Structure 1
Amino acid sequence: MKDKRILFVSSEVVPYLPETELSSTAFSSAKNAHSKGVQTRIFMPRYGVINERRHQLHEVIRLSGMNLVVNDLDMPLIIKVASIPKERMQVYFIDNEEYFKRKAVFSDEDDKLFSDNDERAIFFAKGVVETVKKLNWAPDIIHIHGWMASLLPLYLREFYKEEPLFTESKIVTSLYNSGFEGELNEDLAEKVRFDLDDSDKIATIETPNHINILKSAIENSDAIIHGSETIDEELASFIEDKEKPVLKYQAENLKESYLNFYTDILSV
């Protein structure tokens, strides 16, 4: 795997958000790959709860300044970057004041999902791709963690399918037993259809709940990792039907297991 390129895209990453199974695994999988000579880039949203001064985030002017179209609206893209202390790993933050400048991550003070979480997910997916294009950095593997990142496989396979930077990229999605109750904005599929008007893959997210968003990620990925010891039975059955390479939950020896899995995927 030395000198290969892996793009890690996660809803959450420590130390920028509290430690959870998802945020810790996203960080540790990137850290281990980096320690083995793999070129890594980590992307996450720049939530308003992240302390920019403490974590020394700064805007990258040469990458910022473009607008992304979400549901026929131009939304400014701001790119910030920080280095994880002691690791010499760069983390890129996708930012937009309207979508991310709020003192919460996914829900308001009443624990109600933000009504624009659907647009935030679309913006994040397109923001990651457009930033990687500006970096002119072609990843061998793109590893997805968390539902906020789960529209990225769909966009890569459909909206960006002619983009040469990603034609050889393999997409891996990790599944966790954390998610959200209820549904995102009922217009999610229609907003995605604005970009992918003729794609039959949008049907998967017509009912925009947590399971269906992950199903969309699964059907547009090359391989799946069980990031939690148990995952939803409906998702487990869905994976079996797709007959994709699967790495079961790794309670021990996670480091070598992930690297070996990446190698296997690239050899297919």
Structure 2
Amino acid sequence: MKVLFAASEAVPFIKTGGLADVIGSLPKALVKQGLDVRVILPKYAQIPASLTDRMEVVAVFDLQMGWRTLYCGIYKLEHEGIIFYFVDNEYYFARHGCYGYGDDAERFAFFSRAVLDALQPIDFIPDVIHCHDWQAGMIPVLYRAHFSYQPEYAHIRTILTIHNLKYQGVFGQEEFKDYFTLGDEHFHGYALELHGGASFLKGGLLYSDAITTVSPTYAEEIQTPYYGESLDGLLRSQSHRLHGILNGLDYEEFDPMNDKFVEFHYRDSLAKKQLNKLKLQERVGLPARKDVPLIALVTRLVDQKGLDLMDRVIGELLNLDAQWIIVGTGEPRFEQLFRWAADAFPDKVSANILFDESLARQVYAASDLFLMPSLFEPCGIGQLIAMRYRSVPIVRETGGLKDTVTPYNEETGEGTGFTFANYNAHDMLFTIERAVRLYREPAVWANLMANTKKKDFSWKKSAQQYKDLYETLVPVRV
């Protein structure tokens, strides 16, 4: 079976969030299941030269987008056994970063058209085009409108995966009519129309053959008004083809036994983990203490991550006999909150308002507890890395956090972390206080480590679920 992933970012080429991690690792797991999986991305200027230097041009053609005739180049690179294609047009993609430009609708309309127009030139006609997030959401619409009736393409099925429903690619209807050559029939309420404009994501939801999202709980949540971002009614109507498949973690990339950023390699040795903790405390200027729990946040500093809960009880949190280390950037109010805490409590707080992959890995390896009090979390990768590095997660029960972290039960000794259900600052505070107390009970910690060790959050199970879904969609070809 041939599968083409269409996405706007992938590790190691370009990354702004968890989408890139998925596109960088899921194809490798699917290839192990016997599928021929390839990936197509925009060719951004920020892709490192060490990678672009290895790319080869495999196709150049004119692309028609509305009244425009545009250059389109397709580059190819094999990386870690996966073939990646890159859509080249410097006007659209030779810029700083991926998104946030006034012409994003035009840029990703070009990308969507290029994905379909490139199939013949690259000599790869897939059975499934697997589209990711709003940037690829119009590919199923274009396929239905312009390609599905052509015999060589008629067998193709399309899937849309929602990585975060909040981002919907809403732009003006006139732009859609222009870039995609679509008539008025595509813009009534049950088609692309959204908030008076039109939505890339809504197009993908309605025109694809199947919809997936990145955890079973998030698939349920987005069918409710609280989490549904104005699309809950549509998603309820499509629930028969909506599947929640949990994201995995690349166990080769994230491995404390082989991580190049970690000084003392370990698997289950708490003694080695403590050596990493003492090293990190020394590096960031915290007192070197084994007996105090080190609580970590490696996150974007934004509302979604539940940081307003911390703001409400920051005094009580800083009164705990615990140390805190924060790594991330984001909204100025949260950056300032943690800078203030580090200035006021230098023996308790290290605020690293930056993103540094080597520091982040050292934090996972050194920390005892890992906090994710998210307002919503489609899947979350932080808690998966934390458990892989034997840092015990403290999470709110939402989305993938609920699906991956089992609450610790002192009576039975079962569980892999500490959880709270309500989006409430004092519920979070109580849960953190409990975790800090139980850190000082060696039998409890031994239980948590033993339970976490049994968990497997690699891509193997999830890849099998994707393969099963592909096989239900693709007709048997004789």
Class of the TM-score when normalised by the shorter of the 2 chains: 0.7 to 0.9
Distance 1:168 1:54, change over 3 A: closer
User: Is the CA contact (8 Å cut-off) linking 1:116 and 1:185 kept in structure 2?
Assistant: no
What's the CA shift for 1:196?
2.5
Within 5 A, what are the aligned runs for 1:1-268?
4-18=1-15, 20-60=17-57, 62-64=58-60, 66-84=61-79, 87-107=80-100, 114-177=101-164, 180=167, 183-184=170-171, 187-192=174-179, 195-197=181-183, 200-203=185-188, 204-207=191-194, 212-227=199-214, 230=218, 231=222, 232-233=227-228, 234-250=230-246, 252=457, 253-266=461-474
RMSD: 2.7
Distance 1:192 1:55, change over 3 A: closer
User: Is the CA contact (8 Å cut-off) linking 2:134 and 2:168 kept in structure 1?
Assistant: no
Amino acid at match of 2:67: D
Measured against aligned partners, the alpha-carbon deviations of 1:157-177 in whole angstroms (never above 9, x if no partner) come to 102233323211111110022
Question: For the residues of structure 1 that align with 2:3 and 2:169, how far apart are their CA atoms?
Answer: 33
Question: For the residues of structure 2 that align with 1:57 and 1:238, how far apart are their CA atoms?
Answer: 44
Measured against aligned partners, the alpha-carbon deviations of 1:149-200 in whole angstroms (never above 9, x if no partner) come to 111111001022333232111111100226548843563223145x223x62
Structure 1: which 4+ aligned runs deviate by more than 6 Å? Answer: 208-211
Question: For the residues of structure 2 that align with 1:196 and 1:143, how far apart are their CA atoms?
Answer: 22
Question: For the residues of structure 1 that align with 2:232 and 2:47, how far apart are their CA atoms?
Answer: 33
Amino acid at match of 1:42: V
Distance 1:182 1:258, change over 3 A: closer
TM-score w.r.t. the length of structure 1 is: 0.83
Measured against aligned partners, the alpha-carbon deviations of 1:61-100 in whole angstroms (never above 9, x if no partner) come to x511x1112231111001112221xx21110001101111
Bigger Rg, structure 1 or 2? 2
What's the CA shift for 1:240?
2.4
Match of 1:111 in 2: none
Structure 1 segments unaligned to the other structure (5+ residues): 108-113
User: Is the CA contact (8 Å cut-off) linking 2:56 and 2:77 kept in structure 1?
Assistant: no
Amino acid at match of 1:9: A
Amino acid at match of 1:227: V
What's the CA shift for 1:136?
3.2
Structure 2 segments unaligned to the other structure (5+ residues): 247-403, 405-456
TM-score w.r.t. the length of structure 2 is: 0.48
Question: For the residues of structure 1 that align with 2:64 and 2:233, how far apart are their CA atoms?
Answer: 35
What's the CA shift for 1:247?
1.4
Distance 1:162 1:210, change over 3 A: same
User: Is the CA contact (8 Å cut-off) linking 1:159 and 1:196 kept in structure 2?
Assistant: no
Distance 1:208 1:77, change over 3 A: farther
DSSP 3-state at the match of 1:187 = helix
User: Is the CA contact (8 Å cut-off) linking 2:13 and 2:51 kept in structure 1?
Assistant: no
Amino acid at match of 1:105: C
Higher mean alpha-carbon deviation, 9-18 vs 170-179, is at 170-179
Amino acid at match of 1:47: Y
What's the CA shift for 1:259?
1.7
Q: Which has the higher contact order (CA 8 A, sep 6+)?
A: 1
User: Is the CA contact (8 Å cut-off) linking 1:188 and 1:208 kept in structure 2?
Assistant: no
What's the CA shift for 1:20?
2.6
Amino acid at match of 1:101: A
Question: For the residues of structure 2 that align with 1:141 and 1:240, how far apart are their CA atoms?
Answer: 24
Amino acid at match of 2:182: L
